Structure 1
Amino acid sequence: MIKKIVEFCLKNPPAVIMIAALTGGMGIWALKTTPIDAFPDISENQVIVSTQWAGRSPDDVQDQITYPLSVELQGIPGVKQVRGMSGFGFSRIYIVFEDRVDFYWARTRVLERLGGLGDLLPNDALPELGPDATPLGQIYWYTIEGPLDLGTLRTIQDYTVRYALQSIPGVSEVSNIGGFVMEFQVDVDPNQLFSYGIDIQQVNEAISRSNIDVGARTIEASGMEYIVRGTGFLNGIEDLEQVLVTSRDGVPVMLGDISSISTGPAFRRGALADHNGEIAGGIVVMRKDANPVRVIDAVEERLAEIAPALPEGVIITPYYDRRELVLETVETLSGVIAMEMLITLIVILIFLVHLRSSLIVTATLPYAVLLCFAAM
């Protein structure tokens, strides 16, 4: 067999050159299009389901969320293993599929199963899928700094930077970290509640009932059609103070009469800081099988576009960039291949004293690398 192949190559040089050029071109195309990362992705083919249930103990979360979900998700085709974890106020379930199962097909089947849970879970516990990324998907970390308070910096990250980066192809998620999430805080006076005979549940219902827009029908008059709607969304502290809680002897009791209302940071369990103090920032998570170099290039282009729209003095500074590690890895590999080619050329030239033979053998090294990329 080998003899026939050698004879064919010797008798048909043009065909050999054409085949070599074709396969080499395929290798060059694959080299430019194949995603290259610095770390091998050896993670399992898995889908993550996260559920928040605020204020509940790990035992309650295990009994009412993690265990029922684990049993329900075991019946999905292609599932190899289901692992669950319960913590304070949250549940996380890892559904591991067989390697032959398509990643996005698995996510679709899990989402279908979650949509048919019905009354299996508590009303205030809503499961959701994790990002379509791998554990190695965090490719770009950045901070937002400036002469503003942490609440304002976090708001810029939540509603300006995050939305701009989320729409980039290849970005699965932009996670927020650090700063303060601002909220309206209602500090109820228990003495006022007792004097008016009001419980805290009535206060919660009054706020929820008042923070809503109401849609209605239309009115036709003089050949014109008018759309009728009731506006009721709360826009500030003044609106909250005018929320009607109840009435006593015909006198309305407003929320401002029984509580102190202000804006402040929400409760948090972590922070982001450097040598200068606390800061706000974000983490860009890459979608599975995306090219990290291209994604990071697109992220920096988008950050440059939104920079003029940021408040004066606010800057975005990267402090982890996977692209640098990827490019250094590729540069190291290229240097090693070049060094091997040089050594091979010199050694064969010394022993055979024949330049053509040395060049033919040396050319097989980069050609073999291109064939490996073509096989991917």
Structure 2
Amino acid sequence: MNIIKTSIDRPIAVIAAVLMTVLLGWLALQTIPIQLTPDVNRPVITINTAWAGAAPAEVEREITNRQEEVLKGINGLASIVSSSRRNSARVTLEFEVGTNMDRALLLVANRLDRVSGYPEEVDEPTLSLAGAEDNAIAWFYVTRVKGNERPIHEYGQFMKDVVQERFERVPGVSEVTVYGGADPELQIIVEPATLASYGITVTEMVQALRRANAALSAGDVDEGKRRYVVRTDAELNTVEAIKSVVLRTEHNQATGRVGRVTVADVAEVKFDYKDPTSLIRQQGNSAIAFNAKRETGANVIETMEGIRAALKELNDGVIPQAGLKLQQVYDETDYISSAVNLVRQNIWYGGSLAAVLLLIFLRSWRATLIVSIAIPVSVIGSFVAMAALGRSLNVISLAGLAFAVGMVVDAAIVVLENIYRHREKGVSAARAAYDGTRQVWGAVFVSALTTVMVFIPILVMELEVGQLFRDIAVAISVSVMLSLLVSVTVLPALASGLLSRQKQKPGGGYSRLFLPGIDHFASGFVALVVGYARLMQKSRVMALLVVIIVSVATSATAYQWLPKLEYLPTGNRNLLFGWLVPPPGYNLETMTKIAGRFEKATQPLWASETGPESKPGEPPKMERFFFVAFAGGTLIGAAAQDPQRASELVGPLNSIVAQDPDMLGGVGQYSLFGRGFGGSRRIDLDITGPELAPIYDVAAKAAGQVFGAFPREEGNRLRPLPALSLGEPELRVTPNRSLLADAGVSTLELGQSIDAFNDGLRVTEVTIGNSRIDLMLKGKANQVTQTQGIEALPVVTRQGQIVPVSSLAKVVLTAGPTQIRHKERLRTVTLQITPNDAIPLETALDKVRTQVMEE
């Protein structure tokens, strides 16, 4: 079948096909997910294990090492990284590209089942395929309304039960994480003297409570037509149930009377809240923050509409009733909309400029119309292929379509120019359309095929870069191939009809409007090219010499002016983040004071305080500013009043950070493509070894070299993970076994007594309503306000005596790690280096090798 001839003979069918293509493309556009960047599937499984009250060294010994031992030999495992910190362990497994993650998840779960002998307080490990570094599409904060004096952290459970649950029901939302709240707990407050009067130790009380908390199935009983399930239900799910637990029973043989000691006799039981582990302030107001992450492949625009509906529903109901105010502080669709509109605008401008240039050089509105049709048909038709291949509409795919606007007219111009040449010879329009297209379609086909071939490696590449740029490859390849099809079908069909109506001069040819300047330049250029071609044909030596000169000159110029390599641009997102790392051992109160000083220093830049307009030469005002203070660091964030000037806030904020020489880290603009605070421009320098002390020594020296190569004053940032020294203060209690034996106290009883009267001992987890909360055994509040207070903590013996810790053990002030990281099962300190935007990533890597690693 001759497709060219068929298209000329049946122009109505061609027009119908064009209209159908445009219609299908428009329908496909409605179904394609819209998001900021393409989905990049990382073959990563994360394992989280909680152990309340455990130190990093204990977590490493009892959890991390055991899990790494059974996980090390899994098929397809590329790397294993772990973090042991206070209260939790986290193991991250990265697999080779192309690994079946469903099978890998099953293998990991089976391997974890081999780990036995966890301490009783350790929770079951949880597995997740969603990385913790996945970017959120929306951030919110909750503050108290005026007159509400209730501490903001006490709304933590309300946030989880009401707000988090509502947002997680929004289609397209995969996860909502709440920060700044505190969980409720049931507290048993005991006095050592009361316990001693009954001769009950802390350990005996804990064991009695754990034995009393039971809910067991005991089979079933058949009677008549019915089957009855038998259950032993003795859960401690109310205050009264806990108070009624019997700790000791004694029988008087002489009188026959029975004496019982219950929890109510020795303790007070009440509901309260855990101490907050973080503090969030939004422009001077205490707050709770939470974010929303989207499901892979979800349409961000549609998901955000659902989020806004949920936000309105909550603000119209339960939020004001609770005395709270809920506001959205970050919306990714703002950036998506601006980026999409910009690329869409570029597509319109590019198409219009291409049409104008065609009109200038062809001087025929008919010919220009014929070629210009190739642009919308090819671009809109490509949406069908993108939807069929499961691609999304994002800044990468839209950039591909913008590039394609100029490329899709190439084949059309070649075909139409040849048709036009035949028509100027006096050939009929139909014959000119057929001969002109037939003569060049092979060259056009090869030209389009070579363009597509360039993108084949990207289309089949499974690495992150392949997944990231696959959308641009699909957009350009499909558009170019569609433009080829348009050139050999639509163009000859339209040319045979439109060009037949164009009047020719006597003897053939068309009269053209003369354009001074342009036509003179064109004539001179043609004469130059023709003369040059004739010269090259006359002398082969001259032709070879020109080839050598041009090749050498272009190669030398490219080598000299080739820009330094970068991975990906940061973008201009109106969101700045910074992570400040203090010296080890700083508590939450100290970090809150440091963050408060930072807050005060930035206050002149707040639009709410000094107005939205900034003076000439000054940085833009901040629309929002917040900080999150943890015991081990502070997270700060800001957004500019003018989104286009957000990057101008980086310098002033880093200048404020540099005023405190003890604080490491800095502020940077949130990367468009990268994950985590360093974004795509972060360099990780790992120092590994078997022992912590030498690792930290080398890390401290390397950090000094880094600061020499990348001065903080120039906006460079360094974040050590976990720290640069074993400086976290630690009170180490070493029992004297002889003294313990003399007092009739076991090591377990000593440790549990210290835990209970210092910070609170977790007895078990109980069910209250639909929630699981901790049951804690505690002494009176604020018993220990100084390090020496540990020595004076009471230990109740079985004989009813109260002895201080100092009489049973030695208390020594020492230092321990804030966190223990492993890479490939070796202890590791990682220096995360983020150079300023003026330093290309290639240059930064060279400086790290020459000025840090080699020295």
Query: Under TM normalisation by the shorter chain, which class is it?
Result: 0.7 to 0.9
Q: Is 1:273 aligned with 2:262?
A: no
Change (3 A) 1:177 1:211: same
User: Using CA pairs below 8 Å that are at least 6 residues apart, which structure has the higher relative contact order?
Assistant: 1
Distance 1:101 1:324 in 2: 35
Distance 1:313 1:5 in 2: 72
Q: Is 1:63 aligned with 2:61?
A: yes
Q: 1:319 aligns with which of 329, 334, 338?
A: 329
Partners of 1:132 and 1:172 within 8 A in 2: no
Partners of 2:140 and 2:289 within 8 A in 1: yes
Corresponding letter in the other structure for 2:303: V
Corresponding letter in the other structure for 2:128: G
Structure 1 residues not aligned, in runs of 5+: none
Q: 1:150 aligns with which of 129, 149, 152?
A: 152
- The structural deviation recorded for 1:284 is 1.6
Distance 1:179 1:187 in 2: 23
Change (3 A) 1:101 1:357: farther
- The structural deviation recorded for 1:8 is 6.8
- The structural deviation recorded for 1:157 is 0.8
Structure 2 residues not aligned, in runs of 5+: 252-257, 392-855
Map Cα deviations across residues 302-323 of structure 1 (whole Å, 9 max, x no partner).
3444542452543432112222
Q: 2:310 aligns with which of 285, 295, 302?
A: 302
TM-score normalised over the length of structure 1: 0.82
Q: 2:369 aligns with which of 348, 359, 365?
A: 359
Map Cα deviations across residues 138-193 of structure 1 (whole Å, 9 max, x no partner).
12222233435425522221111222222333322221211322222223212222
Change (3 A) 1:88 1:151: closer
Map Cα deviations across residues 20-72 of structure 1 (whole Å, 9 max, x no partner).
55554554444333333223444632111111122333233223322332332
Distance 1:127 1:35 in 2: 34
Distance 1:296 1:317 in 2: 14
**Equivalent in the alignment of 2:169:** 167
Corresponding letter in the other structure for 1:167: R
- The structural deviation recorded for 1:266 is 0.8
Change (3 A) 1:364 1:215: same
Map Cα deviations across residues 180-231 of structure 1 (whole Å, 9 max, x no partner).
222222232122222322121222233334445566767979x999988676
- The structural deviation recorded for 1:87 is 2.0
Partners of 1:144 and 1:153 within 8 A in 2: no
- The structural deviation recorded for 1:246 is 1.9
Partners of 1:53 and 1:61 within 8 A in 2: yes
Q: 2:206 aligns with which of 173, 193, 204?
A: 204
Map Cα deviations across residues 103-159 of structure 1 (whole Å, 9 max, x no partner).
445434433443x32526445242111363673341222223343542552222111
Corresponding letter in the other structure for 2:350: E
Change (3 A) 1:356 1:272: farther
Partners of 1:337 and 1:365 within 8 A in 2: no
Distance 1:132 1:26 in 2: 34
**Equivalent in the alignment of 2:32:** 34
Distance 2:117 2:19 in 1: 61
Greater Cα shift, 344-353 or 252-261:
252-261
- The structural deviation recorded for 1:337 is 0.9
Q: 2:360 aligns with which of 350, 355, 358?
A: 350
Corresponding letter in the other structure for 1:180: A
Partners of 2:44 and 2:131 within 8 A in 1: no
Partners of 1:131 and 1:172 within 8 A in 2: no
Q: 1:51 aligns with which of 49, 52, 56?
A: 49
Q: 2:300 aligns with which of 261, 271, 292?
A: 292
Change (3 A) 1:68 1:14: farther
Map Cα deviations across residues 318-371 of structure 1 (whole Å, 9 max, x no partner).
112222222222111111111112222222222222223333444444444445
Distance 2:105 2:18 in 1: 41
Distance 2:124 2:371 in 1: 63
Partners of 1:81 and 1:97 within 8 A in 2: yes
Distance 2:304 2:184 in 1: 30
Change (3 A) 1:118 1:364: same
**Equivalent in the alignment of 1:119:** 116
Distance 2:133 2:312 in 1: 28
2:166 is paired with a residue of what secondary structure? helix
Distance 1:26 1:121 in 2: 59
**Equivalent in the alignment of 2:517:** none
- RMSD (Å) for aligned C-alpha atoms: 3.5
2:288 is paired with a residue of what secondary structure? strand
Greater Cα shift, 338-347 or 18-27:
18-27
Q: 2:345 aligns with which of 335, 348, 369?
A: 335
**Equivalent in the alignment of 1:180:** 182
1:126 is paired with a residue of what secondary structure? coil
Q: Is 1:254 aligned with 2:262?
A: yes
Q: 1:85 aligns with which of 83, 86, 95?
A: 83
Map Cα deviations across residues 250-284 of structure 1 (whole Å, 9 max, x no partner).
43222233234333321332222212422223222
1:205 is paired with a residue of what secondary structure? helix
Distance 2:299 2:68 in 1: 33
Distance 2:72 2:9 in 1: 61
Change (3 A) 1:314 1:244: same
Change (3 A) 1:290 1:71: farther
**Equivalent in the alignment of 1:72:** 70
1:282 is paired with a residue of what secondary structure? strand
Distance 2:23 2:111 in 1: 45
Change (3 A) 1:91 1:339: same
Corresponding letter in the other structure for 2:269: I
Distance 2:260 2:207 in 1: 16
Partners of 2:137 and 2:293 within 8 A in 1: yes
Distance 1:34 1:212 in 2: 52
Partners of 1:84 and 1:92 within 8 A in 2: yes
Partners of 1:43 and 1:135 within 8 A in 2: no
Change (3 A) 1:200 1:159: same
Change (3 A) 1:209 1:67: closer
